[in-house]
Amino acid sequence: MPEENPAAPVEPAQEPSGEGTIEGQVGEKTPERVPSNWQDDPAYRESQRLLNKQADDARAATAAAQQQLAAAQAENQSLRQASTEQNQFIQTYDPDAAKALQDKAHLNRVEAELAQSRQQNAQQNADAQARNNFIEYHTTRAQEQGLNPYDPMYQAALNQAMVQGDPGIIEGARLEMAISARSAADAAPPAPEPVPPAGAAAPA
């Protein structure tokens, strides 16, 4: 067993130099940043207060609307119950009155259906009259311009104009027909000179 040398000096333990780290290069450690408490920020607290107030107002409005709806439903149910009881009473103690009420209700339904039918017929008649006026006007316009209003192209344009409610369609068709007629007239050969009949004197 080797002997210990009590005279040998004891070297103190060396602290790590921090070499290779940012703290060692700077010479001291950078203190850590402590995040601020954003919940204590006045602007945040004010925004939260406004949001909470809006939520409370919305809940209060919803509750009030639900109460009004419940009250209206209860009133409606009460009225239906009263009407049912009244009808039962009339049918039980006054059958003639009950039949009269049924007849009146049936008559009201018939009158409503007749009114609706008359309104529909009036609208259909007005639409038909408007179509006839439209056709008559544009037929006359075509004849005034020397065009054939019964030409298939013109009739197709007339129908399309009525369906789309665009008079420009039929006006464009008239213009196109007029241009075509003028072009055909310009391209036609001149009429031949009249030939006098045999034995007639030649013109001087």
Position 100 in a domain: yes
Domain check: are 125 and 159 in the same one?
yes
Classify residue 87: in a domain, yes or no.
yes
Predicted confidence (pLDDT) per residue in 145-169, tens digit: 888 888 888 888 888 888 888 888 8
Q: Give the Cβ contact number of residue 1 at 10 Å.
A: 3
Tens of pLDDT, residues 79-129 = 888 888 877 777 777 777 778 878 888 888 888 998 999 999 999 999 889
pLDDT at 134 over 80: yes
Least confident of 7-16, 19-28, 63-72, 142-151: 19-28
- From residue 11, give the alpha-carbon distance in Å to each of 2, 8, 14: 21, 9, 9
Task: With respect to residue 33, please indicate whether it lies within any of the assigned structural domains.
Answer: no
pLDDT at 24 over 50: no
Using the predicted structure, report yes or no on whether residue 30 has a pLDDT greater than 60: no
Q: Is residue 165 part of a domain?
A: yes
Residue 111 inside a domain? The answer is: yes
Residues 113, 88: one domain?
no
Range 125-153 average pLDDT = 88
State how far the Cα of 99 lies from the Cα of 106, in Å rounded to an integer.
10
Residues 127 and 153 in one domain: yes
Give the residue from 34, 62, 93 where a domain finishes.
Answer: 93
Mark whether 89 and 133 lie in a shared domain: no
How many domains are contained in the chain?
A: 2
- Residue 3 located in a structural domain: no
Helices (H), ranges, the chain? 22-26, 42-93, 95-144, 152-164, 167-187
163 and 132 in a common domain: yes
- Band of residue 15 on the pLDDT scale cut at 50, 70, 90: low
Q: Does residue 20 carry a pLDDT above 50?
A: no
Question: 88 and 114: one domain?
Answer: no
- For residues 67 and 126, membership in a common domain is answered with no
Has residue 192 been placed in a domain? no
Confidence category of residue 200, pLDDT binned at 50, 70, 90: low
**Is 40 a domain residue?**
no
Do residue 148 and residue 86 come from a single domain? no
Task: Give percent of the chain with pLDDT exceeding 90.
Answer: 9
Domain that holds residue 143: 95-183
Shared domain check, 178 and 115: yes
Is the domain of 148 the same as that of 164? yes
Q: What is the DSSP string of 128-157?
A: HHHHHHHHHHHHHHHHHTT--TT-HHHHHH
Decide if pLDDT at 4 tops 70: no
DSSP 188: S
